[in-house]
Amino acid sequence: MSDLTKTPAAPNILTAAFRYLAGQLRQIGLFIALIVIVIFFEVATSGITLKPINVSNLVVQNSYILILAIGMVMVIIAGHIDLSVGSVVAFVGAMAGVMITQWHVPWWLAIVLCLGIGALVGMWQGFWIAYFRIPAFIVTLAGMLTFRGLTQIALQNQQISPFPDEFRALGSGFLPDLGGGVSLLEPLTVGIGILATLLVIAQGIRQRAARKKFAVEDEPFAWYLAKLVFTSILILLITYLLASYNGTPIVLIVLGVLVVAYSAIMSRSVFGRHIYAIGGNLNAAALSGVKTKRVTFLLFVNMGVIAALAGLVFTAQLNLANPKAGDGFELDAIAAVFIGGAAVTGGIGTVTGAIIGGLIIGILNNGMSILGVGSEFQQLIKGLVLLAAVAFDVYNKRRNGGR
C-alpha cells in the first residue's frame, strides 16, 4: 500500500532495472509470445511462415481484423463492448456491392458513402448506449442481428461480384513497383521501410530526451537501446520480405496510418484521455467535467466508421459481397484486444497491444492452416490462448497487489 512512500535511499542499478522490467512484464510478455509463436511456426512449417509470399498474405489477410481491433480497443478501454462489428462489415460490404454494381456509383464515391453509412450505424448504436443508457452489450447484440438482417435484405440473399479493379486494390492491391518488376528488392517498399525505421528511431530519441528532461524516465538505457534496435530490425526485416515479393500492400499503408493516428489520439489527445478516464472511473470522470455521454457517443460513431472501413477492405479483398461475410469477426477483434492486454473492466489497453494481439491470432491461424491443423483444433487452441493471456493478466495484477 504505502511502499511508494518508503523507497529505499539508493537502490542499486540492477534492482532498479529488474523492477522496471517486472513492471513491464505484460508488454514484454506479449512481444516475446509473438516472437516465440513466429519462431515455432517457422520451424514447424520448415520455413514457409517467413517466406515473402506468406508474410505478404499474413498482412493482407489479417488487415480487416487488425483494423477492427483498433476501434474495438477504444470501445473496450471505455468499458463497453461492440458485438455488432461483424454484421456491420457485412452490411457495408453489401451496400458497396449494391452501390457499385446496381446503382453504378463511382467506386470512390461508394467508399465515401460507405464510411458515411458506418458513421450512421455508429450514431444509431451510440445514441442508445450513451443517451438512452442501454448497456452496449445489449445494443450491439441487437445491432448484430439487425445489421445482419439488413445485409440479407440489401443483397436479397444473393452474392454480388465482381468489383472494379480500383476498388479491389483497397483490399488486395500493391503500391506500384518502381523497379519495373526486375529489381531484386522493390525500391518503393525499401524506401518506405527505411523511412519508417528512421521515424521510429527519431521518435524514440525525442521521447526519451523529453522524459529525461522532466525526470520521469525510469527505463534503463540498455533496455531502451535494445528495444529501439530490435524494433528497427523488425521493420527492416518485414520490409525486406515484402520488397522481395510484390512490394507494399496498399492495405498495409492504410493500417499503418490508422495505427499511428489512433495511437496518437489515444495517448495524446483530449478525446483519448477522456476515453481512458471514463473506463478508469466513470464517476470521477463525470465529476471532472468530462462529457461522458458525448464521448461515448463519438466512440461508437468512430467504431462504426472503422467497421465500415474493415468492411470495404474485406469486400475488396474477396471481390465479393456476401450475406454471410464478417461472421465472427467481432469475436476475433475482441480476442485480439484482450490478448493485447486490455482490461475487462476498462481503463487499460493500447492500440499497439491490440495490434500485437491481432497478429498473434493471425499467425496462429496462418501457421495452423499451413500445418493442416483442423478448424476444430484451431478454435480450441485460440480459445486457450485467449484464456491464458487474460489469466496471466489477472495473476499479474493480483501479484502486484492490485485491487
Please say which residue, 51 or 211, places its beta carbon nearer to other proteins.
211
The distance of closest approach from Cβ of residue 275 to other proteins in the complex, given in angstroms and rounded to an integer, is 12
Measured in Å, how far apart are the chain's first and last C-alpha atoms? 11
The distance of closest approach from Cβ of residue 277 to other proteins in the complex, given in angstroms and rounded to an integer, is 6
Please say which residue, 138 or 270, places its beta carbon nearer to other proteins.
270
Q: Would you tell me which residues interact with other proteins (CB under 8 A)?
A: 1-5, 7, 210-211, 213-216, 218, 268-271, 273-274, 276-277, 280-281, 283-291, 343, 347-348, 401-403
The distance of closest approach from Cβ of residue 20 to other proteins in the complex, given in angstroms and rounded to an integer, is 12
List the grid coordinates of 388: 491464458
Quickly list DSSP for 207-225.
HHHHHHHTT---S-HHHHH
Answer whether 75's CB lies under 8 Å from 295's CB. no
Please say which residue, 288 or 369, places its beta carbon nearer to other proteins.
288
Please say which residue, 20 or 221, places its beta carbon nearer to other proteins.
20
List the grid coordinates of 11: 537502490
Which positions ≥6 away from 356 have C-beta within 8 Å? 30, 31, 34, 339, 340
Buried b (16+ CB within 10 A) or exposed e, 360-395: bbbbbbbbbebeeeeeeebeeebeebbeebbebbee
The distance of closest approach from Cβ of residue 213 to other proteins in the complex, given in angstroms and rounded to an integer, is 8
Please say which residue, 111 or 299, places its beta carbon nearer to other proteins.
299
* Residue 372 Cα distances to 34, 36, 212, 294, angstroms: 21, 20, 50, 48
Please say which residue, 75 or 275, places its beta carbon nearer to other proteins.
275
The distance of closest approach from Cβ of residue 173 to other proteins in the complex, given in angstroms and rounded to an integer, is 33
The distance of closest approach from Cβ of residue 311 to other proteins in the complex, given in angstroms and rounded to an integer, is 28
- Three-state DSSP at 110 gives helix
